[in-house]
Chains A and B, each alone.
Chain A
Amino acid sequence: MATMATTRPGRRSGSRLLRDVLINGSLAILCILWLIPLLGLLISSFRERADIATSGWWTIFPHREYVTESQIDLGRGFPVDQPITLDQLGVTVTDDQLRAGYTLPDGRRVIWANRRARLIDVQSQQWAANTNFTLGNYQAVLLGQQYTYTLEDGSTRTEQGENMGKAFLNSLTVTIPATVIPILLAAFAAYAFAWMRFPGRRLMFAMVVGLLVIPSQVAMIPLLRTFSGMQVTGTFLALWLVHTGFGLSLAIYLLYNYISGLPREILESAFIDGASPFTMFMRLILPLSVPALASFAIFQFMWVWNDYLNALIFLGSAPDQQVVTIKLAQMIGSRGQDWHLLTAGGFVSMVLPLIVFFSLQRYFVRGLLAGSVKG
Chain B
Amino acid sequence: MIQQTSEADKRPVPSPAAGALLTGQFLVGLLGLAVTLGLLWLGFIYLRGARETSVLNAVIAIVWGVGGVGALFVTGNTVIESLPPYWRDRVRPFLFFLPGVGILFLFLMIPTLITLYQSFFNNDTTEFVGLNNYIATFTDRSMLESFRNNLIWLFLGTAGCVVLGLLIAVLADRSRFEVVAKAIIFLPMAISLVGASVIWRFMYAYAPPGQPQIGLQNAIITAFGIPPQSWLTLQPWNNLFLILVMIWGSTGFAMVLFSAALKGVPADITEAAQVDGATEVQTFFQIIIPYIQGTILTVTTTIAIGTLKIFDVVYVMTGGQYGTSVVGTEFYRQFFTNRNFGYGSAIAIVLFIAISPVIVYNLRQLQKQEGF
> Interface on A for B, CB 8 Å cutoff?
23-24, 26-28, 30-31, 34-38, 40-41, 44, 52-58, 99-100, 166, 169-170, 172-173, 176-177, 180-181, 183-186, 188-189, 191-198, 201-202, 204-215, 217-223, 225, 230-232, 234-237, 240-242, 244-246, 248-249, 251-252, 260, 268, 271-272, 274, 276-278, 281, 302, 305-309, 312-313, 320-321, 324-325, 328-329, 332, 336, 339, 342-343, 345-346, 349-350, 353-354, 356-357, 361, 364-365, 368-369, 372-375
Contacts and interface: CB of A to CB of B under 8 A. Distances in A.
A27 B172 contact: yes
B21 interface: no
Interface string B340-362: 01001101110110010011001
B367 to A, nearest CB: 8
Nearest to A24: B175
Given A24-B177, A53-B214, A349-B195, A217 B309 contact: yes
B352 A215 contact: yes
Contacts of B212: 54-56
Nearest to B251: A34
B30 interface: no
Q: Give the most central of A180, A185, A245, A272: most B CB within 10 Å.
A: A185
Nearest to B205: A339
Nearest to A365: B256
B328 A217 contact: yes
Top 7 nearest A-B pairs by Cβ distance?
A: A245-B107, A189-B100, A306-B192, A181-B65, A375-B305, A192-B96, A219-B111
A353 B11 contact: no
A272 B11 contact: yes
A311 B107 CA distance: 16
Nearest to A306: B192
Nearest to B47: A237
14 contacts: A24-B176, A34-B188, A35-B187, A100-B210, A172-B58, A189-B97, A197-B2, A213-B362, A217-B309, A218-B108, A218-B115, A218-B348, A248-B104, A336-B201
Q: Give the most central of A27, A30, A173, A374: most B CB within 10 Å.
A: A27
Interface string B175-215: 11100110111111111111101111111010000101111
Interface of B: 1-5, 7-8, 10-12, 14, 44, 47-55, 57-58, 61-62, 65-66, 69-70, 73, 77, 81, 90, 92-97, 99-101, 103-112, 114-115, 118, 164, 167-168, 171-172, 174-177, 180-181, 183-195, 197-203, 205, 210, 212-216, 219, 248, 253, 256-257, 260, 298-299, 302, 305-306, 308-309, 311-312, 315-317, 328, 331-332, 335-336, 341, 344-345, 347-349, 351-352, 355, 358-359, 362-363, 366, 371-372
A211 B110 CA distance: 12
A231 B355 CA distance: 32
Contacts of B312: 308-309, 325
A357 B185 contact: no
B70 A184 contact: yes
Q: How would you classify the secondary structure of chain A's contact residues: helix, strand, loop or mixed?
A: helix
Given A217-B348, A249-B104, 15 more contacts: A28-B177, A31-B181, A37-B248, A38-B188, A40-B199, A99-B210, A181-B62, A196-B2, A217-B328, A302-B190, A312-B336, A332-B316, A345-B198, A361-B186, A372-B298
A74 B73 CA distance: 87
Given A55-B214, A215-B351, A185 B100 contact: yes
A188 to B, nearest CB: 5
Contacts of B93: 192, 196-198, 201
Contacts of B371: 260
Contacts of A26: 171
A189 B316 contact: no
Contacts of A221: 111, 114-115, 118, 335, 341, 344-345, 348
Contacts of A308: 192-194, 311-312, 315-316
A222 B106 contact: no
B191 A306 contact: yes
B101 A31 contact: no
A177 B43 CA distance: 14
A196 to B, nearest CB: 4
Contacts of B315: 308, 329
A217 B3 CA distance: 40
A245 B109 contact: no
Given A170-B53, A235-B51, A271-B11, A305 B192 contact: yes
A40 B196 CA distance: 12
A236 B57 CA distance: 9
B316 A237 contact: no
A181 B344 CA distance: 30
Nearest to B174: A23
B73 to A, nearest CB: 6
Given A23-B174, A236-B61, A211 B200 contact: no
B214 A309 contact: no
Contacts of B298: 372-373
Contact of B355 (A213, A260, A281): A213
Contacts of B107: 219, 223, 241-242, 244-246, 248
A12 to B, nearest CB: 13
B198 A41 contact: yes
A306 B2 contact: no
B299 A372 contact: yes
B216 A36 contact: yes
B30 to A, nearest CB: 17
Q: Give the most central of A195, A235, A278: most B CB within 10 Å.
A: A278
Contact of B175 (A23, A166, A172): A23
B198 A30 contact: no
A31 to B, nearest CB: 5
Contact of A236 (B12, B50, B106, B177): B50
Given A249-B104, A349-B192, A368-B256, A202 B7 contact: no
A320 B51 contact: yes
Given A213-B355, A325-B192, A357-B187, A222 B57 contact: no
A177 B62 contact: yes
Contacts of B317: 332
Contact of A27 (B103, B171, B336): B171
B352 to A, nearest CB: 5
Contacts of B96: 188-189, 191-192, 196, 277, 281
A373 B352 contact: no
A172 B214 CA distance: 33
Contact of A215 (B11, B197, B348): B348
